[in-house]
Structure 1
């Protein structure tokens, strides 16, 4: 972190940690709980160290409001998220201002909930086939199976074609890039390994071939992510280069293997860990009177509450990584240019000043009101809010409805406690669930 010598004000307080390791071990597990503990102990701004990495942490509703209203003026994502552009042409993560808004708009058209409506039958059939393939008496590794399911779902919804054959390749490469460029857990030299470089070439070739095939074979359905990539031009009307269009095609796979899959895993734990939630959601699925449809999801408030409360309790994107390009004051401290900042946007999720019984799990909370008060931000806030947030919420509700309708599952023990991991993003770790057999709905 750059020196503060040019300013006489004190540094933000340093979170206590171990010699050499700093806070690395604490942040490898439940990073959300770590952020909340330090906020309560140190306030809305503090510093952490993790091996050779140093960050300023900003947390609380004021931090969220700062990111939402002033983030464009003081922060850049080019250093923290630019690796996704460097490696896979995902340019949207590294842009700012008008170019960023323009490309977000193009991508947003290809990440629409209406695509799920149009391809509902293919999505539902794929999901049902996956979950009914879990054999009675077996145990299911939750993260692995949710990643495989979400990646296939999103590829079918967003491109019309499953990517099962590419899954392992995509997962290994995306996770390595995140560990190098975002979290700094691996050195940049890892991106020069021959195995990774070969995998990257194959992934880029796969994405480019998908875009080229769609250009050669247009279809009659609603425009999807591949259609947006084929037609994409920048804010001046100039076609994006091929690598950026290929990166657009990869955007859905990236989200499926990470954020969406982790949400599924946390939802599964939550519904099995809380019998009253399981009973309420299952009863609602039963009242639907048949397989769920896109439209019946709108009439299932308990299921929607399950998604939103899981995002509150177990956020899979608890912080937004930025680099300071213009220094600013916050909480009585100066944050200088060049500082690496994590805005821990979901810390307010666990604060009693905002939520009644924040450690409880309730489906009837005022999520919309808390979002307006900057106390609910599961997909970050501001210009870089997750583009697929709306689609993710609908996918998660639909997936849980289909799963509960077809399969009975159980935790290893009724009082089983989750041990989240923070790599490459917060996830349910080694959680496994027991398959009891088919559901009786």
Structure 2
């Protein structure tokens, strides 16, 4: 058997330019041209791309047997104690269960009033701006929402430090945009030390003074966490658990919010439907389940603009796929969201349709905005709920229009697919009494 064919590129850069932009569209286009397995090169990095329904099934059924996440995600563990990304087998399953209890929708429900109040305060600050930077403001909003829901208090004072350090780690360890030596840069080392000290201090404070509301949140789960053999995790792993929600969630939420807003501005008929739904009555947590237009907006946005178009792994046991040899040691990226754009799974995939039925596609693992298999995003449920709530709150309070009508969106993949700094909007005042 031979190696998969190489995707056409340019000297030195290889496929880097296309992969730094709309990487999801690059995967879809190349899959259509070359089939379910092909090789790409971006500067000093080389990957085998596996794509299509068969690739998703392979990751789901054999991923734990043939892949490791150590090379791609080991930096998160080394830098911030996020061990869950590099474990396999029983230790991995156990730590995921620990984290799942601290990232559940129940926490959001328990602190719903506080999350809503802070969201409304931040959204009201947008009023009167003619060129509001969408991604930046949604990152700040997501950070506030997650920190209140997961820990009971805001992390706004450390937002800049958290964002810059985490994004640099992603760019170095996963995207390969910068050399590993960048993580020895003194400003980054100071930011890292500040973040770790912040996490340890939060744990110590919680241990000394439990929350009066009685809600057991991410900090409590981290303090009590023990490994699969009942031994307490060391402090660096507990700090990593405490940071997990911030790290994994801020950009995922912010990019989803940004793409949802872009979709509304591009589709006035969808905007009219979801606005009417949001205006109908007060946005309580229980009502979020009965808002089909907003839920459809979130799910369809995740289909068209997935936050994680692929799952990066390293092969630890060689295998055959689609007639090609994939050797041990190869870096592989399973492009799990390619089926999102295939008509056999989603009829007329170029049409933005909030009335699609995603149930069967989820079961078949062809709808996979948060990957598939044992490393599926733990915060997927909270992300979907928060996206419905946030768009509902925004539409009830603000009127949004493009800063520059007709200006095309330019997707960038740094550190994950997002609309970039060019995406700005004009914001007018409250559109109805709340």
Instruction: State whether TM-score is above 0.5.
Output: yes
Question: 2: CA distance between counterparts of 1:274 and 1:69?
Answer: 38
Report 1:265-276 matches (<5 A): 265-276=258-269
Q: What aligned pairs does 1:221-240 form with structure 2 within 5 A after superposition?
A: 221-240=214-233
Offset of residue 415 of structure 1: 3.9
TM-score (norm 2): 0.98
Match of 1:175 among 144, 152, 167: 167
Deviation at 1:413, TM superposition (A): 4.5
Return the alpha-carbon distance in structure 2 between the equivalents of residues 188 and 197 of structure 1. 13
Contact 2:278 2:396 in 1 (8 A): yes
Correspondence for 2:276 among 274, 280, 283: 283
| Partner residue in 1 for 2:418 | 427
Of the candidates 145, 152, 163, which is equivalent to residue 153 of structure 1?
145
Moved beyond 2 Å, runs of 4+: 219-222, 412-417
CA distance in 1, matches of 2:338, 2:136: 27
Q: Which residue of 1 aligns with 2:255?
A: 262
Indicate if the aligned counterparts of 1:158 and 1:252 stay in contact, CA closer than 8 A.
Answer: yes
Q: How does 1:35-434 map to 2 (within 5 A)?
A: 35-219=27-211, 220-287=213-280, 289-290=281-282, 292-430=283-421, 431-434=423-426
Q: Aligned-pair distance for 1:417?
A: 2.5
User: 1:236 is paired with a residue of what secondary structure?
Assistant: coil
What's the C-alpha RMSD, in Å, of the aligned pairs? 1.0
TM normalised by structure 1 equals: 0.96
Q: Secondary structure at the match of 1:240?
A: coil
Deviations 1:320-353 (A, max 9, x none): 0100011110011011101101100001001112
The corresponding residue for 1:3 is: none
- Offset of 1:416 from its aligned partner? 3.8
Give the Å deviation of 1:254.
0.6
Give the Cα separation in 2 of the matches to 1:162 and 1:43: 47
How far 1:137 moved relative to its partner?
4.3
Kept in 1: contact 2:36–2:55 (CA 8 A): yes
Unaligned runs of 5+ residues in structure 2 are none
Distance in structure 1 (CA, Å) of the matches to 2:129 and 2:325 = 57
Deviation at 1:135, TM superposition (A): 2.5
CA distance in 1, matches of 2:341, 2:7: 19
* Ranges in structure 1 where 5+ consecutive residues have no aligned partner: 1-8
Deviation at 1:234, TM superposition (A): 0.4
